[in-house]
Amino acid sequence: MGNELGKYTNCVSARSTDKEILKKAQDGGIVTQLFAFALDAGIIDGAIVAGPGDEPWRPRPIVATTREELLAARGTRYNISPNVSLIKEATRSYGLDKVGIVGTPCQMQAIRKGQLYPVGLRDVPDKIALAIGIFCMENFPYQSIVQLVEDHAGQKLESVKKMEIGKGKFWVYTERGAVVQLPLKVTHKYEQPGCHVCLDYVANLADVSTGSVGSPDGWSTVFVRSKSGEDVWSKAIAAGCFETKPIDQVKPGLELVTKLANEKISKNQKTVEERMKFGVGKGLRNPYIKP
Ligand code: FAD
Ligand code: SF4
Protein backbone atom coordinates (compact mmCIF):
# COMPACT_ATOMS: atom_id res chain seq x y z
CA MET A 1 0.00 0.00 0.00
CA GLY A 2 2.57 2.57 1.08
CA ASN A 3 0.41 5.57 1.95
CA GLU A 4 -1.46 4.16 4.92
CA LEU A 5 0.04 6.75 7.32
CA GLY A 6 -0.69 9.73 5.05
CA LYS A 7 1.69 12.63 4.48
CA TYR A 8 3.66 13.96 7.40
CA THR A 9 6.75 16.06 7.96
CA ASN A 10 7.57 14.82 11.44
CA CYS A 11 6.60 11.88 13.64
CA VAL A 12 7.56 11.54 17.30
CA SER A 13 6.50 9.90 20.50
CA ALA A 14 5.48 12.63 22.95
CA ARG A 15 3.74 13.52 26.17
CA SER A 16 2.69 16.73 27.84
CA THR A 17 4.97 18.19 30.52
CA ASP A 18 1.90 19.47 32.40
CA LYS A 19 1.10 17.08 35.28
CA GLU A 20 -2.45 18.43 35.66
CA ILE A 21 -3.25 17.72 32.01
CA LEU A 22 -1.73 14.23 32.25
CA LYS A 23 -3.80 13.30 35.31
CA LYS A 24 -6.95 12.71 33.25
CA ALA A 25 -5.63 12.65 29.68
CA GLN A 26 -6.31 9.55 27.64
CA ASP A 27 -2.69 9.09 26.56
CA GLY A 28 0.08 11.71 26.45
CA GLY A 29 -2.35 14.65 26.73
CA ILE A 30 -1.33 15.87 23.27
CA VAL A 31 -4.77 17.21 22.28
CA THR A 32 -5.44 19.16 25.47
CA GLN A 33 -1.88 20.44 25.77
CA LEU A 34 -1.66 21.59 22.14
CA PHE A 35 -5.00 23.41 22.30
CA ALA A 36 -4.12 24.98 25.68
CA PHE A 37 -0.83 26.22 24.25
CA ALA A 38 -2.47 27.45 21.03
CA LEU A 39 -5.09 29.31 23.08
CA ASP A 40 -2.40 31.01 25.22
CA ALA A 41 -0.32 31.87 22.18
CA GLY A 42 -3.28 33.38 20.29
CA ILE A 43 -3.05 30.74 17.51
CA ILE A 44 -6.67 29.79 18.20
CA ASP A 45 -9.31 31.65 20.15
CA GLY A 46 -11.28 28.54 21.04
CA ALA A 47 -11.53 24.84 20.25
CA ILE A 48 -14.41 22.48 19.55
CA VAL A 49 -13.92 19.47 21.80
CA ALA A 50 -16.03 16.54 23.03
CA GLY A 51 -17.09 17.77 26.45
CA PRO A 52 -19.04 15.81 29.04
CA GLY A 53 -22.72 15.38 28.15
CA ASP A 54 -25.91 14.91 30.16
CA GLU A 55 -25.41 11.16 30.52
CA PRO A 56 -22.21 9.45 31.72
CA TRP A 57 -19.72 8.94 28.87
CA ARG A 58 -22.00 10.51 26.25
CA PRO A 59 -19.94 13.33 24.73
CA ARG A 60 -21.39 16.72 23.89
CA PRO A 61 -19.50 18.99 21.51
CA ILE A 62 -18.58 22.26 23.17
CA VAL A 63 -16.67 25.37 22.18
CA ALA A 64 -13.92 25.61 24.79
CA THR A 65 -12.47 29.07 25.21
CA THR A 66 -10.65 28.50 28.51
CA ARG A 67 -8.07 26.05 29.82
CA GLU A 68 -10.65 24.78 32.35
CA GLU A 69 -13.10 23.88 29.56
CA LEU A 70 -10.35 22.13 27.62
CA LEU A 71 -9.37 20.13 30.70
CA ALA A 72 -12.97 19.13 31.38
CA ALA A 73 -13.03 17.42 27.95
CA ARG A 74 -9.88 15.28 28.46
CA GLY A 75 -10.08 11.56 27.77
CA THR A 76 -11.66 9.40 25.08
CA ARG A 77 -15.40 8.86 24.88
CA TYR A 78 -15.97 5.89 22.60
CA ASN A 79 -19.10 7.15 20.93
CA ILE A 80 -20.03 9.80 18.45
CA SER A 81 -19.39 13.41 19.31
CA PRO A 82 -20.62 15.47 16.35
CA ASN A 83 -17.92 18.13 16.75
CA VAL A 84 -18.17 19.32 13.13
CA SER A 85 -21.79 20.35 13.70
CA LEU A 86 -20.55 23.22 15.91
CA ILE A 87 -18.18 24.77 13.40
CA LYS A 88 -20.55 27.39 12.07
CA GLU A 89 -21.82 28.27 15.52
CA ALA A 90 -18.22 28.62 16.76
CA THR A 91 -17.57 31.34 14.19
CA ARG A 92 -20.99 33.01 14.39
CA SER A 93 -22.44 32.69 17.90
CA TYR A 94 -19.06 32.50 19.65
CA GLY A 95 -17.41 34.93 17.22
CA LEU A 96 -14.22 32.89 16.89
CA ASP A 97 -11.88 33.89 14.07
CA LYS A 98 -9.34 31.12 14.70
CA VAL A 99 -11.02 27.82 15.46
CA GLY A 100 -9.39 24.67 16.82
CA ILE A 101 -11.21 21.37 16.42
CA VAL A 102 -10.49 17.78 17.43
CA GLY A 103 -12.05 14.79 15.72
CA THR A 104 -11.81 11.32 14.32
CA PRO A 105 -10.40 10.75 10.79
CA CYS A 106 -13.91 10.91 9.24
CA GLN A 107 -14.47 14.25 10.96
CA MET A 108 -11.19 15.57 9.56
CA GLN A 109 -12.43 14.51 6.10
CA ALA A 110 -15.70 16.39 6.67
CA ILE A 111 -13.81 19.53 7.68
CA ARG A 112 -11.55 19.46 4.62
CA LYS A 113 -14.53 18.80 2.36
CA GLY A 114 -16.33 21.75 3.96
CA GLN A 115 -13.29 23.93 3.30
CA LEU A 116 -13.18 22.89 -0.37
CA TYR A 117 -16.93 23.08 -0.96
CA PRO A 118 -18.25 25.47 1.69
CA VAL A 119 -21.91 24.88 0.91
CA GLY A 120 -23.72 26.22 3.97
CA LEU A 121 -20.36 27.02 5.62
CA ARG A 122 -19.77 30.53 4.29
CA ASP A 123 -17.03 32.38 6.25
CA VAL A 124 -15.90 29.17 7.94
CA PRO A 125 -13.10 27.73 5.71
CA ASP A 126 -10.46 30.36 6.50
CA LYS A 127 -11.21 30.29 10.19
CA ILE A 128 -10.11 26.72 10.88
CA ALA A 129 -6.72 27.33 12.43
CA LEU A 130 -5.87 23.95 13.97
CA ALA A 131 -7.49 20.59 13.22
CA ILE A 132 -6.23 17.81 15.50
CA GLY A 133 -7.12 14.29 14.37
CA ILE A 134 -7.19 11.26 16.64
CA PHE A 135 -6.42 7.75 15.38
CA CYS A 136 -9.54 5.61 15.11
CA MET A 137 -10.12 1.95 14.35
CA GLU A 138 -13.86 1.99 15.10
CA ASN A 139 -16.53 3.82 17.07
CA PHE A 140 -19.76 2.80 18.85
CA PRO A 141 -23.29 4.11 19.27
CA TYR A 142 -23.98 5.33 22.84
CA GLN A 143 -26.39 2.48 23.56
CA SER A 144 -23.63 -0.01 22.67
CA ILE A 145 -21.31 1.54 25.25
CA VAL A 146 -24.09 1.11 27.82
CA GLN A 147 -24.41 -2.57 26.86
CA LEU A 148 -20.67 -3.20 26.84
CA VAL A 149 -19.96 -1.53 30.17
CA GLU A 150 -23.09 -2.48 32.10
CA ASP A 151 -23.99 -5.90 30.64
CA HIS A 152 -20.67 -7.34 29.51
CA ALA A 153 -18.26 -5.67 31.94
CA GLY A 154 -20.82 -5.58 34.79
CA GLN A 155 -19.97 -2.00 35.85
CA LYS A 156 -22.17 1.06 36.33
CA LEU A 157 -21.34 3.59 33.65
CA GLU A 158 -21.17 6.43 36.18
CA SER A 159 -18.52 4.53 38.18
CA VAL A 160 -16.13 4.30 35.21
CA LYS A 161 -13.08 6.56 35.16
CA LYS A 162 -11.54 5.47 31.86
CA MET A 163 -12.18 3.26 28.85
CA GLU A 164 -9.49 2.20 26.47
CA ILE A 165 -9.01 -0.05 23.47
CA GLY A 166 -5.53 -1.49 23.30
CA LYS A 167 -3.46 -4.65 23.29
CA GLY A 168 -6.36 -6.48 21.63
CA LYS A 169 -8.86 -5.72 24.43
CA PHE A 170 -11.55 -3.22 25.46
CA TRP A 171 -10.59 -2.04 28.97
CA VAL A 172 -12.90 -0.57 31.57
CA TYR A 173 -11.36 1.07 34.67
CA THR A 174 -13.58 2.14 37.56
CA GLU A 175 -13.07 4.91 40.13
CA ARG A 176 -12.81 2.21 42.85
CA GLY A 177 -10.01 0.37 41.11
CA ALA A 178 -11.73 -2.47 39.25
CA VAL A 179 -10.25 -3.30 35.85
CA VAL A 180 -12.35 -5.33 33.42
CA GLN A 181 -11.13 -6.44 30.01
CA LEU A 182 -13.39 -7.57 27.21
CA PRO A 183 -12.06 -9.44 24.18
CA LEU A 184 -12.60 -7.50 20.97
CA LYS A 185 -14.64 -10.39 19.60
CA VAL A 186 -17.31 -9.28 22.11
CA THR A 187 -17.19 -5.63 21.06
CA HIS A 188 -17.13 -6.14 17.26
CA LYS A 189 -20.84 -6.56 16.77
CA TYR A 190 -21.51 -3.26 18.54
CA GLU A 191 -19.36 -1.17 16.19
CA GLN A 192 -21.04 1.45 13.99
CA PRO A 193 -21.63 -0.19 10.60
CA GLY A 194 -20.38 2.99 8.90
CA CYS A 195 -16.95 2.35 10.41
CA HIS A 196 -16.66 -0.82 8.34
CA VAL A 197 -16.17 1.18 5.13
CA CYS A 198 -13.75 3.68 6.69
CA LEU A 199 -10.30 3.72 5.10
CA ASP A 200 -8.36 6.12 7.31
CA TYR A 201 -6.80 5.06 10.61
CA VAL A 202 -4.47 7.94 11.45
CA ALA A 203 -6.39 11.08 10.43
CA ASN A 204 -4.44 11.70 7.25
CA LEU A 205 -6.09 15.09 6.67
CA ALA A 206 -5.46 16.65 10.09
CA ASP A 207 -2.86 19.33 10.78
CA VAL A 208 -1.56 17.17 13.62
CA SER A 209 -2.76 13.64 14.35
CA THR A 210 -2.23 11.55 17.44
CA GLY A 211 -3.06 8.26 19.11
CA SER A 212 -1.65 5.83 21.62
CA VAL A 213 -0.64 3.13 19.19
CA GLY A 214 3.09 2.91 18.54
CA SER A 215 4.15 4.58 21.78
CA PRO A 216 4.71 3.29 25.33
CA ASP A 217 1.87 3.59 27.89
CA GLY A 218 1.22 7.22 28.84
CA TRP A 219 2.88 8.49 25.66
CA SER A 220 1.38 9.30 22.27
CA THR A 221 2.44 8.93 18.67
CA VAL A 222 2.22 12.30 16.91
CA PHE A 223 2.23 13.02 13.17
CA VAL A 224 2.78 16.64 12.20
CA ARG A 225 1.28 17.01 8.75
CA SER A 226 0.61 20.55 7.51
CA LYS A 227 2.34 23.95 7.61
CA SER A 228 0.01 25.19 10.33
CA GLY A 229 0.59 21.92 12.20
CA GLU A 230 4.36 22.44 11.99
CA ASP A 231 4.04 26.02 13.13
CA VAL A 232 2.04 25.26 16.28
CA TRP A 233 4.00 22.09 17.09
CA SER A 234 7.42 23.78 16.84
CA LYS A 235 6.25 26.71 18.96
CA ALA A 236 4.80 24.34 21.58
CA ILE A 237 8.07 22.39 21.69
CA ALA A 238 10.06 25.63 22.06
CA ALA A 239 7.75 26.62 24.94
CA GLY A 240 8.54 23.33 26.73
CA CYS A 241 5.01 21.90 26.43
CA PHE A 242 6.11 18.40 25.43
CA GLU A 243 8.78 15.80 26.12
CA THR A 244 9.57 13.96 22.90
CA LYS A 245 11.46 10.86 21.77
CA PRO A 246 12.34 9.90 18.19
CA ILE A 247 9.70 7.44 17.03
CA ASP A 248 12.35 4.94 15.91
CA GLN A 249 13.67 4.78 19.47
CA VAL A 250 10.41 3.68 21.13
CA LYS A 251 8.61 0.36 21.17
CA PRO A 252 6.46 -0.80 19.44
CA GLY A 253 6.97 2.20 17.13
CA LEU A 254 5.70 2.92 13.64
CA GLU A 255 5.77 -0.74 12.62
CA LEU A 256 2.65 -1.42 14.69
CA VAL A 257 0.89 1.76 13.50
CA THR A 258 1.56 0.74 9.89
CA LYS A 259 0.36 -2.82 10.51
CA LEU A 260 -2.92 -1.68 12.11
CA ALA A 261 -3.53 0.96 9.43
CA ASN A 262 -3.06 -1.67 6.73
CA GLU A 263 -5.32 -4.14 8.55
CA LYS A 264 -8.08 -1.54 8.83
CA ILE A 265 -7.78 -0.49 5.19
CA SER A 266 -7.73 -3.99 3.72
CA LYS A 267 -10.55 -5.31 5.95
CA ASN A 268 -12.79 -2.31 5.21
CA GLN A 269 -11.88 -2.21 1.52
CA LYS A 270 -13.40 -5.71 1.31
CA THR A 271 -16.64 -4.41 2.85
CA VAL A 272 -16.66 -1.53 0.34
CA GLU A 273 -16.34 -4.03 -2.49
CA GLU A 274 -19.03 -6.32 -1.06
CA ARG A 275 -21.42 -3.39 -0.72
CA MET A 276 -20.70 -2.29 -4.29
CA LYS A 277 -21.87 -5.72 -5.50
CA PHE A 278 -25.35 -4.89 -4.36
CA GLY A 279 -25.15 -1.30 -5.56
CA VAL A 280 -24.30 0.52 -2.35
CA GLY A 281 -21.18 2.62 -1.93
CA LYS A 282 -20.40 3.22 -5.59
CA GLY A 283 -18.80 6.52 -4.67
CA LEU A 284 -16.63 4.92 -2.02
CA ARG A 285 -13.06 4.35 -2.93
CA ASN A 286 -9.82 4.57 -1.07
CA PRO A 287 -8.49 8.09 -1.69
CA TYR A 288 -5.05 6.97 -0.54
CA ILE A 289 -4.63 4.26 -3.14
CA LYS A 290 -4.38 5.02 -6.85
CA PRO A 291 -7.12 3.23 -8.85
P1 FAD B 1 -6.56 14.19 25.68
O2 FAD B 1 -5.69 15.34 26.07
O3 FAD B 1 -7.03 13.23 26.69
O4 FAD B 1 -7.84 14.79 24.92
C5 FAD B 1 -8.71 13.98 24.18
C6 FAD B 1 -9.47 14.87 23.25
O7 FAD B 1 -10.28 14.06 22.39
C8 FAD B 1 -10.39 15.80 24.01
O9 FAD B 1 -10.28 17.10 23.50
C10 FAD B 1 -11.78 15.22 23.74
O11 FAD B 1 -12.71 16.24 23.67
C12 FAD B 1 -11.60 14.55 22.39
N13 FAD B 1 -12.53 13.43 22.23
C14 FAD B 1 -12.85 12.48 23.15
N15 FAD B 1 -13.76 11.63 22.64
C16 FAD B 1 -14.02 12.05 21.39
C17 FAD B 1 -14.89 11.59 20.36
N18 FAD B 1 -15.68 10.54 20.53
N19 FAD B 1 -14.89 12.25 19.19
C20 FAD B 1 -14.13 13.35 19.00
N21 FAD B 1 -13.27 13.84 19.94
C22 FAD B 1 -13.22 13.19 21.11
N23 FAD B 1 -6.00 5.78 19.31
C24 FAD B 1 -5.22 4.78 18.86
O25 FAD B 1 -4.01 4.85 19.01
N26 FAD B 1 -5.77 3.69 18.23
C27 FAD B 1 -7.11 3.55 18.05
O28 FAD B 1 -7.57 2.56 17.46
C29 FAD B 1 -7.96 4.60 18.54
N30 FAD B 1 -9.30 4.51 18.39
C31 FAD B 1 -10.11 5.54 18.83
C32 FAD B 1 -11.49 5.47 18.64
C33 FAD B 1 -12.30 6.52 19.03
C34 FAD B 1 -13.78 6.44 18.81
C35 FAD B 1 -11.74 7.67 19.65
C36 FAD B 1 -12.61 8.83 20.09
C37 FAD B 1 -10.36 7.73 19.88
C38 FAD B 1 -9.54 6.68 19.46
N39 FAD B 1 -8.15 6.74 19.62
C40 FAD B 1 -7.35 5.71 19.16
C41 FAD B 1 -7.51 7.96 20.15
C42 FAD B 1 -7.12 7.86 21.62
O43 FAD B 1 -8.10 7.15 22.35
C44 FAD B 1 -6.98 9.29 22.22
O45 FAD B 1 -8.18 10.02 22.01
C46 FAD B 1 -5.83 10.07 21.60
O47 FAD B 1 -4.62 9.35 21.75
C48 FAD B 1 -5.71 11.45 22.25
O49 FAD B 1 -5.26 11.28 23.56
P50 FAD B 1 -4.60 12.52 24.34
O51 FAD B 1 -4.12 12.04 25.66
O52 FAD B 1 -3.66 13.23 23.43
O53 FAD B 1 -5.87 13.46 24.45
FE1 SF4 C 1 -15.11 7.73 11.76
FE2 SF4 C 1 -13.79 5.82 10.59
FE3 SF4 C 1 -13.53 6.17 13.20
FE4 SF4 C 1 -15.77 5.20 12.26
S5 SF4 C 1 -13.75 4.23 12.12
S6 SF4 C 1 -15.59 6.87 13.75
S7 SF4 C 1 -15.98 6.27 10.30
S8 SF4 C 1 -12.89 7.57 11.57
With respect to residue 24, please indicate whether it lies within any of the assigned structural domains.
yes
Q: Are residues 224 and 158 in the same domain?
A: no
Listed residue (242, 251, 252, 253) closest to 22, CA to CA:
242
Element at 223 (helix H, strand E): strand 220-224
- The CATH number that applies at residue 147 is 3.10.450.750
Q: Are residues 101 and 216 in the same domain?
A: yes
Q: Work out how many domains the chain is built from and give that number.
A: 2
Q: Ligand 1 centre and the CA of 282: distance in Å?
A: 30
Q: Are residues 12 and 101 in the same domain?
A: yes
Q: Is 17 exposed, middle or buried (0-12, 13-18, 19+ CB in 10 A)?
A: middle
For residues 24 and 75, what is the distance between their CA atoms, to the nearest angstrom? 6
With respect to residue 287, please indicate whether it lies within any of the assigned structural domains.
no
How many CA atoms lie less than 13 Å away from 102 in the CB half-sphere? 32
Sign of CA dihedral 93, 95, 101, 105: positive
Give the number of the atom of ligand 2 that is nearest the alpha carbon of residue 203: 8
Q: Are residues 71 and 113 in the same domain?
A: yes
- Is it the case that residue 285 has pLDDT exceeding 90? no
Q: Are residues 105 and 159 in the same domain?
A: no
Report the chain's mean pLDDT, rounded to a whole number: 95
Q: Per the confidence metrics, is the pTM higher than 0.75?
A: yes
**Other C-beta atoms within 10 Å of 124: how many?**
18
104 Cβ inside 6 Å of ligand 2? yes
What are the pLDDT digits (tens) for 192-221? 999 999 999 999 999 999 999 999 999 999
With respect to residue 286, please indicate whether it lies within any of the assigned structural domains.
no
Residues 25-43: what's their mean pLDDT? 98
Listed residue (17, 16, 33, 108) closest to 70, CA to CA:
33
Q: Are residues 178 and 269 in the same domain?
A: no
What are the pLDDT digits (tens) for 136-174? 999 999 999 999 999 999 999 999 999 999 989 999 999
Domain span including residue 174: 140-190
